[in-house]
Amino acid sequence: MGNDRSPKKKKGGTKDMDDLKKEVPITEHKMSVEEVCRKFQTDVVQGLTNAKAAEFLLRDGPNALTPPPTTPEWVKFCRQLFGGFSILLWTGAILCFLAYAIQAATEDEPAGDNLYLGIVLTAVVVITGCFSYFQEAKSSKIMESFKNMVPQQALVIREGEKVQINAEEVVAGDLIEVKGGDRIPADIRVTSAHGCKVDNSSLTGESEPQSRSPDCTHDNPLETRNIAFFSTNCVEGTARGIVICTGDRTVMGRIATLTSGLETGKTPIAVEIEHFIHIITGVAVFLGVTFFILAIILGYTWLEAVIFLIGIIVANVPEGLLATVTVCLTLTAKRMAKKNCLVKNLEAVETLGSTSTICSDKTGTLTQNRMTVAHMWFDNQIHEADTTEDQSGAAFDKSSVTWLSLSRVAALCNRAQFKAGQDSVAILKRDVAGDASESALLKCIELSCGSVRMMRDKNKKVAEIPFNSTNKYQLSIHETEDPNDNRYLLVMKGAPERILDRCSTIMLQGKEQPMDEEMKEAFQNAYMELGGLGERVLGFCHLLLPEDQYPKGFAFDTDDVNFQTDNLCFVGLMSMIDPPRAAVPDAVGKCRSAGIKVIMVTGDHPITAKAIAKGVGIISEGNETVEDIAARLNIPVSQVNPRDAKACVIHGSDLKDLSQDQMDDILRNHTEIVFARTSPQQKLIIVEGCQRLGAIVAVTGDGVNDSPALKKADIGVAMGISGSDVSKQAADMILLDDNFASIVTGVEEGRLIFDNLKKSIAYTLTSNIPEITPFLFFIIVNIPLPLGTITILCIDLGTDMVPAISLAYEAAESDIMKRQPRNPSRDKLVNERLISIAYGQIGMIQALGGFFAYFVILAENGFLPSQLVGIRLNWDDRSLNDLEDSYGQQWTYEQRKIVEFTCHTAFFVSIVVVQWADLIICKTRRNSVFQQGMRNKILIFGLFEETALAAFLSYCPGMDVALRMYPLKPTWWFCAFPYSFLIFVYDEARKLILRRNPGGEHTIDRWSTFAQAPHIFHLFLPPVIPSSAKHISRCPAPLKTKSALKQFSSQLPQRLKTAKAPLQLSTSTCPLSPHLL
Amino acid sequence: METILLIVSSLLVYMTAATNTDTEGATNTSENPFIYDYETLRIGGLAFAVVLFTLGILLILSRRCRCGINQKPRAPGDEEAQEENRIVSKAAAAAKETPPEN
């Protein structure tokens, strides 16, 4: 309550949170009405005076929830601009500017490359940042539309007068009146009630409306009858009460505050990207430092070496990857949005894919949140009713006469009716005025027997005793359908044991038979069985009143009962439950086969929870709880070894007493867990428990009570239609159609995008090596620079983009829903192995291809490779205009530069050519391309597009001026072809070895591990010790890989300081034929 | 479908190569072997790029029709076809980004 909690301050934040995590400290339910009145200085008849109300309003503030602190737009934008990957690019950009500054300070005419590169890097980050910012802004706009804008009204009594005021102005102490259909405006202590029922499902998870009365029935304020809670709904009846808490101090407000105060951790993909950045930075710094030392040894000056160092480090930054990853995630988010999964945060797209535990709420998530007739017992037989949403289930035998009587009783002894004007709406979707179980009966009868209203019209109601909690039955007397029959029909329904007490006969096959012990036992069994299913059971009986005693026109007195209410004829039982949604069992099954543990966490009662858990497969068939085993073996619960029970149902009150270790023990050792009667705070504790055990937890829920857990979870999934605003705010993902099965789609898409991102990254990283080696050789062996900054950017941000993105459209290699969820500590997005293949193996071959083209062109122009080594200083000397080649031809500076840039173009084209092969091998990580096929049209488009772009850049007139790219002779295109082919063959061979040596898969490639069902995997290769497995098939010997990686890897654009001035643009049309002098 | 496209494209490559060698041969025999006909090469190369690009676009558009005609049972096909269109625009956007950065 308000007085024991200081107003929210940043300082007291942690203490505040702990306080919020505790149970609700309401005590008013235990006080008498007078005490409550005294406490709030109010009057139970007159209400507050206006002056007092104004004073309290000033003291407590308006009765509204403080909206969760919204992050300002610019903060969101900055987060996009500086989060995750962007850091890497920003560092690169800053280093570039730094290098340029050094150059500018030390040289007369600094080369502009570092400056340009810095600008381009900045531009890439800003553009991608804007893109993802707008992407997220779009989904938050959809979120806005969810908000309920209708201002609430409340009926308060002040100074003895009823006034309708804005719910925000309600203060503690106000006397309030609520009626059916109203939303309760604050936490109130009920002082008087008439048949009042409230729907607490969004707060406690109970699917049945709870009756409210002035008496305290339970110590726990959440369970007691005399408190009604803020923002729950009054379903029927009227009640009066005194407001005890308003705004954030209400139970609901506390939960909302708790929710918005929770800190959430990083998304798994953010962790992966961080790991990736670490690896990349490691490689970059290693290469940079190595070559820095080499440069010093080779006699470069300090400053030169520093420029090299920066150049090499920057060259390692994959410029295009940020954009690629963002676009891939966006594409998946869109694909999911189309399947009705709205993702609020782009990074959450992948999270479902890594999820290893799903904690699901029951009411409204797994179930339909409406009572439905599930079973009937008549003719000494249990019949199953159709509970599916679309009435696709099996029908029962409706021909029995008993059924006709039962349906007549259920229809007549029922006060619920359809609201008007819904004839065109499907029966199950119609709105009903009345009690939940009566509406369930109404809908059931309307579905199976046709119009209930007609039936009621034919059997006019003469008298009625409504249900009350003392007699526990409801009774009504009707005329019969037959106008010639003057008898009256008495129908009664109520608690089965009460009904049975009043019956002396039972209807079997339409005939009345005396109720014998055997029938009574049959009744008891049926009652127990239905009750055990967690269903709410009602008994029905009727009697045709004898005409001689009750002639037509008999005045039935319902207050002072003047007619027979015993010796009735028992007709049957009907039982109701909030049935599971149709798609849920299948979805749960799929999650399970995908290795995801599904836990039910509900506020509802254990029996109902367990029944639904069994119904949807959360407790699978044949699995028993400790209690089940005890019951089967007929031994006390304490004697059962808890290890024998795979399933368990845990009550919220037990949970309270569990230590952390016991909790971990339960979560670890039981595969099928149901938590019942849990408070919102306990839901949070459960989620934290799972996370402590290293699981990546998804929480699904729709109520306010789920929202702290939704926020705390790695990914919170809220329901779009039935979900409360608070839960939607707290969630990362919203199922627009409320269909739990969409989660399976989410898992599938999440896993696929993780796999495909891996491929995209492998593809993008590979071209880093052919991009960086030219610079390294430029430094080390002093050859003319083989590949310039501009051409590198053309690859990273031009030709490589579409192919890399196209990998996001790759289909899965094996059934991704059959493998275990990835282990966040072991299965990384980018690991050393991926780097070693991309950098150490494929990248090296690519570099060879590029250098081959480079040497061919220079040789064709007269510079044989032997001549090139050590030529750099002369080559880049502007004043030297008669450099001789191997054949004695003399070259001016301009001519040399044209040849050099033609080489850049050829190197660029060669990289494109080898990237063809790289794209095809990156398509699959284990399967051969021939197995996988080339069905990804986007990928083929990517191949065409990158080639077309390369040709365009080379041949478009004006490119020699703009980007210094020159047309290539057709034959030069083919220089890299053999290398392209080599890459393809090499990798196919690698994958073949991989497939042939399944023992090593474990360490080599996780795909294969998961390609088979887990248990089969264990059957075939029980103890593969990772360390030994490593040697089985890292196909090219590990040694080789390692040394290759060490030797190279890094890249680097950056024009050396040696290119002293911006190059003169040449207009010569025949660049490659120096005039013989 | 794609095989046909691939064959066509490889033919085109061959043809461009052939025409270029032809012009090369012609100019080379009659004139200075150090002078190369860069104009023709440029036009040929550009034509090659344009053809390749159009082929790519056609390939993406063709996907849809193909699904409509002979891949009826594959429901996801339609979905994917639509997704592709999105990526075209994405690709275009990406392409738009590139030039200023170069």
CATH number of the domain enclosing A606: 3.40.50.1000
H-run or E-run covering A234: strand A233-245
| Residues whose CB falls within 8 Å of the CB of residue A361, separated by 6 or more in sequence, listed in order | A205, A600, A601, A602, A699, A700, A701, A702, A703, A705, A706
Mutate to test the interface with A, among B16, B37, B87 (most CBs of A within 10 A): B87
Comparing CB atoms, the residue among B36, B52, B98 nearest residue A1070 is B36
Q: What is the pLDDT of residue B87?
A: 37
Integer angstrom CA distances of residue A1014 from A812, A820, A1005, A1029 = 18, 7, 15, 18
Question: Residue A933's domain is classified under what CATH number?
Answer: 1.20.1110.10
Q: Which residues of B touch A1070 (CB under 8 A)?
A: 34-36, 38
Give A476's strand partners: A464, A491
* pLDDT class of B82 with cuts at 50, 70, 90: very low
**CA end-to-end span of chain B:** 35
Is residue A1022 a part of any domain in this protein? no
Q: Which residues of A touch B50 (CB under 8 A)?
A: 948
Cα dihedral A729, A734, A737, A740 in deg (nearest 10): -120
Q: What is the pLDDT of residue A440?
A: 87
**CA end-to-end span of chain A:** 97
Nearest CA in chain A to B82: A335
Whether residue A681 contacts residue A706, with contact meaning beta carbons closer than 8 Å, is answered with no
Q: Which residues of B touch A790 (CB under 8 A)?
A: 102
Q: Tell me the shortest Cα–Cα distance from A774 to chain B, in angstroms.
A: 19
Comparing CB atoms, the residue among B21, B48, B59 nearest residue A951 is B48
H-run or E-run covering A787: none
Contact assignment for B20 to A970 by CB distance below 8 Å: yes
Is residue A275 a part of any domain in this protein? no
Of A738, A769, A792, the domain-final residue:
A738
Task: Report how far residue A666's alpha carbon sits from residue A653's, in angstroms, rounded to the nearest whole number.
Answer: 15
Structural domain spans, chain B: 1-18+39-66
Nearest CA in chain A to B63: A937
Inform me whether the C-beta atom of residue B3 falls under 8 Å from chain A C-beta atoms. no
Closest to A906 in 3D by CA, of A963, A858, A862, A866 = A858
**pLDDT above 90: percentage of residues in chain B:** 13
Inform me whether the C-beta atom of residue B94 falls under 8 Å from chain A C-beta atoms. yes
Q: What is the pLDDT of residue A808?
A: 92
Q: What is the pLDDT of residue A317?
A: 86
A78-84 LR contacts (CB < 8 Å, sep 24+): A80/A129, A80/A130, A80/A132, A80/A133, A80/A136, A81/A125, A81/A126, A81/A129, A81/A133, A83/A270, A84/A270, A84/A273, A84/A274, A84/A347
Whether residue B60 contacts residue A937, with contact meaning beta carbons closer than 8 Å, is answered with yes
Task: Report how far residue A572's alpha carbon sits from residue A493's, in angstroms, rounded to the nearest whole number.
Answer: 10
Q: What is the pLDDT of residue A20?
A: 66
Q: Per DSSP, which regions of A480-535 are E strands?
A: 488-494, 503-508, 511-514
Comparing CB atoms, the residue among A327, A338, A970 nearest residue B16 is A970
Instruction: Work out the burial of residue A192: count CB atoms within 10 Å of its CB; fewer than 13 is exposed, 13-18 middle, 19 or more buried.
Output: middle
Strand order across the A697-701 sheet: A341-343, A733-735, A715-719, A697-701, A357-360, A597-601, A672-676, A647-651
* Claim to verify: residue A201 and residue A62 sit in the same structural domain: yes
Residues 38-57 in B contacting A (C-alpha not used; CB under 8 Å): 38-39, 41-42, 44-46, 48-50, 52-53, 55-57
Task: Report how far residue A817's alpha carbon sits from residue A103's, in angstroms, rounded to the nearest whole number.
Answer: 55
Nearest CA in chain B to A1075: B34
Task: Report how far residue A597's alpha carbon sits from residue A673's, in angstroms, rounded to the nearest whole number.
Answer: 9
* Claim to verify: residue A568 and residue A592 sit in the same structural domain: no
Inform me whether the C-beta atom of residue B73 falls under 8 Å from chain A C-beta atoms. no
Instruction: Work out the burial of residue A437: count CB atoms within 10 Å of its CB; fewer than 13 is exposed, 13-18 middle, 19 or more buried.
Output: buried
Q: What is the pLDDT of residue A199?
A: 84
What token pair was written down for A177? 């009146």
How many Cβ contacts (< 8 angstroms) between chains A and B? 126
Digit-coded pLDDT (tens) for A403-438:
888 888 888 888 888 887 777 778 877 888 777 788
Helix-helix angle A893-922:A977-996, to 10 degrees: 30
What token pair was written down for A576? 């109701």
Helix-helix angle A768-780:A268-297, to 10 degrees: 20
Contact assignment for B90 to A806 by CB distance below 8 Å: no
Q: What is the pLDDT of residue B73?
A: 39
CB atoms under 10 Å from CB of A842, counted, come to 28
Q: What is the pLDDT of residue A1039?
A: 36
Whether residue A456 contacts residue A442, with contact meaning beta carbons closer than 8 Å, is answered with no
Task: Report how far residue A279's alpha carbon sits from residue A768's, in angstroms, rounded to the nearest whole number.
Answer: 14
Q: Which residues of B touch A955 (CB under 8 A)?
A: 41-42, 44-46, 48-49
The 3-state secondary structure of A554-591 reads: CCCCCCCCCCCCCCEEEEEEEEEECCECCCHHHHHHHH
Q: What is the pLDDT of residue A845?
A: 95
* pLDDT class of B28 with cuts at 50, 70, 90: very low
Q: Which domain holds residue A570?
A: 372-577
Closest to A69 in 3D by CA, of A253, A343, A255, A257 = A257
Q: What is the pLDDT of residue A1046?
A: 34
Contact assignment for A801 to B46 by CB distance below 8 Å: no
Closest to A256 in 3D by CA, of A680, A722, A738, A688 = A680
Q: Calculate Rg over the CA atoms of chain B.
A: 20
Is residue A893 a part of any domain in this protein? yes
Is residue A322 a part of any domain in this protein? no
Q: What is the pLDDT of residue A787?
A: 92
What is the CA A329 to chain-centroid distance, rounded? Answer: 14
Whether residue A852 contacts residue A910, with contact meaning beta carbons closer than 8 Å, is answered with yes
What token pair was written down for B36? 């190369």
Write down the H helix ranges in A219-301. 251-261, 268-297
Digit-coded pLDDT (tens) for A23-76:
667 888 888 888 888 888 888 888 888 888 888 888 888 888 877 777 788 888
SS3 label, residue A1070: coil
Helix-helix angle A742-766:A321-338, to 10 degrees: 160
* Claim to verify: residue A715 and residue A837 sit in the same structural domain: no
Digit-coded pLDDT (tens) for A117-133:
899 999 999 998 998 88
Instruction: Give φ, ψ of A471 to 5 degrees.
Output: -85, -20
Whether residue A477 contacts residue A409, with contact meaning beta carbons closer than 8 Å, is answered with no
Contact assignment for B102 to A797 by CB distance below 8 Å: yes
Contact assignment for A969 to B49 by CB distance below 8 Å: no
Q: Which residues of A touch B32 (CB under 8 A)?
A: 1073
Of A533, A548, A577, the domain-final residue:
A577
Q: What is the pLDDT of residue A415?
A: 84
Give A592's strand partners: none
| Residues whose CB falls within 8 Å of the CB of residue A28, separated by 6 or more in sequence, listed in order | A36, A39, A189, A221, A227, A244
Q: Annotated catalytic residue: which of A199, A361, A960, A987? A: A361
Digit-coded pLDDT (tens) for B83-95:
333 333 344 444 4
* Claim to verify: residue A350 and residue A224 sit in the same structural domain: no
Task: Report how far residue A1014's alpha carbon sits from residue A210's, in angstroms, rounded to the nearest whole number.
Answer: 46
Contact assignment for B55 to A334 by CB distance below 8 Å: no
Task: Report how far residue A82's alpha carbon sits from residue A129's, in angstroms, rounded to the nearest whole number.
Answer: 8
Q: What is the pLDDT of residue B16?
A: 56
Task: Report how far residue A57's alpha carbon sits from residue A167's, in angstroms, rounded to the nearest whole number.
Answer: 12
β pairing state of A672-676 and A597-601: parallel
Q: What is the pLDDT of residue B13?
A: 58
Task: Report how far residue A471's alpha carbon sits from residue A891's, in angstroms, rounded to the nearest whole number.
Answer: 112
Task: Report how far residue A1072's alpha carbon sits from residue A537's, in angstroms, rounded to the nearest whole number.
Answer: 94
* Claim to verify: residue A149 and residue A226 sit in the same structural domain: yes
SS3 label, residue A828: coil
Comparing CB atoms, the residue among B5, B17, B49 nearest residue A970 is B17
What token pair was written down for A125? 């980050």
* Claim to verify: residue A469 and residue A394 sit in the same structural domain: yes
This model's pTM is above 0.90:
no
Q: Which residues of A touch B87 (CB under 8 A)?
A: 331, 805-806, 809, 938
Q: What is the pLDDT of residue A594?
A: 92
Nearest CA in chain B to A803: B91
Comparing CB atoms, the residue among A323, A944, A963 nearest residue B102 is A963
Contact assignment for A934 to B2 by CB distance below 8 Å: yes
What token pair was written down for A687? 């989620």
The single-letter code of the amino acid at A624 is E
β pairing state of A357-360 and A597-601: parallel
Q: What is the pLDDT of residue A696?
A: 92
Digit-coded pLDDT (tens) for A157-188:
888 888 888 888 888 888 999 888 888 888 88
Q: Tell me the shortest Cα–Cα distance from A98 to chain B, in angstroms.
A: 20
Q: Tell me the shortest Cα–Cα distance from A938 to chain B, in angstroms.
A: 7
Where chain A has pLDDT below 70, the residues are 1-24, 145-151, 391-394, 469, 999-1077
| Residues whose CB falls within 8 Å of the CB of residue A519, separated by 6 or more in sequence, listed in order | A380, A506, A513
The single-letter code of the amino acid at A220 is N
* Claim to verify: residue A971 and residue A839 sit in the same structural domain: yes
In the annotation, is A604 catalytic? no
Q: Which residues of A touch B9 (CB under 8 A)?
A: 944
Of A963, A995, A1027, the domain-final residue:
A995
What token pair was written down for A219? 């110590």
What is the CA A113 to chain-centroid distance, rounded? Answer: 44
* Claim to verify: residue A704 and residue A803 sit in the same structural domain: no
Q: Tell me the shortest Cα–Cα distance from B48 to chain A, in angstroms.
A: 7
Is residue A291 a part of any domain in this protein? no
Q: Tell me the shortest Cα–Cα distance from B70 to chain A, in angstroms.
A: 15
* Claim to verify: residue A674 and residue A759 sit in the same structural domain: no
Q: Tell me the shortest Cα–Cα distance from A139 to chain B, in angstroms.
A: 18
* Claim to verify: residue A378 and residue A255 sit in the same structural domain: no
β pairing state of A187-199 and A341-343: unpaired
What token pair was written down for A693? 């055990």
Q: Considering its fold, how many domains does chain A have in total?
A: 4
Nearest CA in chain A to B100: A120
3-state percent breakdown (helix, strand, coil) of chain A, nearest 5: 50, 15, 35
